[in-house]
Amino acid sequence: MKPLKVWLASQSERRASMLEPLFSDLECRGFSNVDETPSPGTVDDKVLSICKKKAAAVPKTHPFDLVIVSDTLLADPDDMEQTLGKPHDSVEAAMMLHRLSGRRHQVWTATGIQLHGQWSYSVEYTIVEFEQLSDERLVELVLNHSWKGKAGGYDFAGPMGEHAKIIEGSESTVLGIAGSAMEILASLQN
């Protein structure tokens, strides 16, 4: 059987590393012109709205059997209707990490899968708990730049992993692909 030709429409190295073991013919190429401003609503509505914008950017015709789009946002632990996206600079990253230090928060991921022209979406959250971060450790986490391009300013599979744990849900959801979508993709692997 011929392997599926798969397009991960994302620039996320973390998402790519999750899918590379599953698909031998994987292309990772995101969009730079998608407006990632969420629409109003709950966190799940917001993350799904961005995911669907990414799906809408996929050309109607393309040479791929399978296309994957995804987006991740954190629910603000102080206001569950507000989100924490990707920090724009080291000051914003430090503020986000300080806000999450010693607390639990929800990480929401929406993933769209287009298989043979039909889109399906999964939206899920995982509860993550941070240990209390010392000022020194917080500075180290900001200076190592692992926050770049990461919702909430941290990479769970990177340096932050030793200071955070999953309380409920799926690790793949925290890393950028909804857990149920990852199960579907695993069932399609070649």
Q: Of the residues 35, 44, 65, 71, which is catalytic? A: 71
Nearest by Cα to 5 from 65, 68, 67, 69: 65
CA trace torsion 12, 111, 62, 33 (10° rounding): -60
The per-residue b/e assignment along 85-124, b for 16 or more CB within 10 angstroms, e otherwise, is: bbbeeeebbbebbebbbeeebbbbbbbbbbbeeeeebbbb
Known catalytic residue at 71: yes
Nearest by Cα to 130 from 174, 178, 71: 174
Nearest by Cα to 8 from 71, 75, 77: 71
What is the set of active-site residues?
A: 71
